[in-house]
Structure 1
Amino acid sequence: MLKIRRYKTDDALTLRELFISTVRHINQRDYTQEQLCAWAPVEFDAVLWDTQLTLLNPYVVHLNGKIVGYADLQPDGLIDHFFCHYQHQGQGIGRFLMQHVLIKAQQRGIKRLHAHVSITARPFFEHMGFRVVKAQQVTVQEQTLTNYLMERPAW
């Protein structure tokens, strides 16, 4: 059974592991190993990570008590993080999480959602009603990665 709740500091390490493993497993078909290591480095500052997640205040998805995904929704409609565990993709978790984000956007009166979406995640976001505004190149630790600015009406 899927359940959603807000982030707690105790989630930090689990979400970090989910982030790294998902980026490195799922995105390897669209990005080089060097790009993946720059995007999701194993070495990280635990305090900084927790601080970032606390500011993002994401929704955390549990499947039978195990964390399987998380996503945030910022006041301006930005979805900065949207990740589903690589071992649980294609099981409806992403759809469940996005529907939750859409409901929260409507409740908050947010009219437009936008995200910087990887090549790999683009088809999912398109399926969820997002459209590409523009392709963009971003530099992360001296590696250039392609992603897409995507948007959709929140409701």
Structure 2
Amino acid sequence: MGYSIRSFEDGDAEALAELGRAAIGAIGPDAYSEEQVEAWLANFAGPEVYQAQADAGTQIFIATDEDDEPVAYAMLEQTGHLDHLYCHPDHTKEGLATSLLETAALYAKYHGITHLFTEASHIAKPAFEKAGYNAMKKRTFEIDGVEITNWAMVKTIDPARGRRTA
């Protein structure tokens, strides 16, 4: 299957919200309890959040299938915070997380962002490690009284490396 990566476009918000919910519902139980997955889903972003983030300057990189339908995405805030990385369950193990994280790192390098940071789920942690992120600490927090853990991770971007000079 051929995939492409593009930026967020008007009209993508609903598809991204559905994609994220599908990923959490199908893949979340691999590392989290039913109660944790339910709390995660109950507080997951709606379509309005994606449009608001894009309007505020957040870069949303979307992996699409040959029909230009979103199948995975990552949200990179101007601060270097990578907020979301989700892949539809029908499109896992295709290298999409790696491609999206590489795209975010290239964007950061080009725009002078020197550090990328995230809070990765247990499921996403290996993809972030493969992309050069280091786990700083395990985090525990609550959603609606349900305790959940994830990983604070960071990647240093060398803005000079790889740049061409005249």
Structure 1 and Structure 2 fold alike (TM over 0.5): yes
- Identity within the alignment, %: 26
Secondary structure of 1:80 counterpart: strand
Structure-2 separation of matches of 1:42 and 1:21: 14
Q: 2:115 aligned with 1:112, yes or no?
A: yes
Aligned to 2:29: 28
| Deviation, structure 1 residue 111 | 1.0
Give the number of aligned pairs: 155
Compute the displacement of 1:114 (Å): 0.6
Amino acid at match of 2:157: A
Deviations 1:16-69 (A, max 9, x none): 110001011112111111111111228975545543454434111112122111
Q: Is the 8 A contact 1:79 1:114 kept in 2?
A: yes
Counterpart of 2:11 in structure 1: which amino acid?
A: D
1:11 is matched with: 12
AA aligned opposite 1:139: E
RMSD: 2.0
Please, which of 50, 54, 61 is the counterpart of residue 59 of structure 1?
61
Q: Contact between 2:133 and 2:155, CA under 8 Å: does it hold in 1? A: yes
The question of whether the paired residues in 1 share the 8 Å contact of 2:114 and 2:156 is answered with yes
Instruction: Give the letter for the 2:86 counterpart.
Output: F
Aligned to 1:135: 138
Deviation at 1:115, TM superposition (A): 0.2
Deviation at residue 5 of structure 1 after TM alignment:
2.1
Deviates more, 1:39-48 or 1:69-78: 39-48
- Alignment partners' CA distance in 2, 1:128 and 1:119: 15
Find the aligned partners of 2:82 and 2:138 in 1 and give their Cα distance: 17
Return 5+ residue gaps in structure 2 as ranges. 159-166
Unaligned runs of 5+ in 1: none
Structure number with greater CO (CA < 8 Å, separation at least 6) is: 1
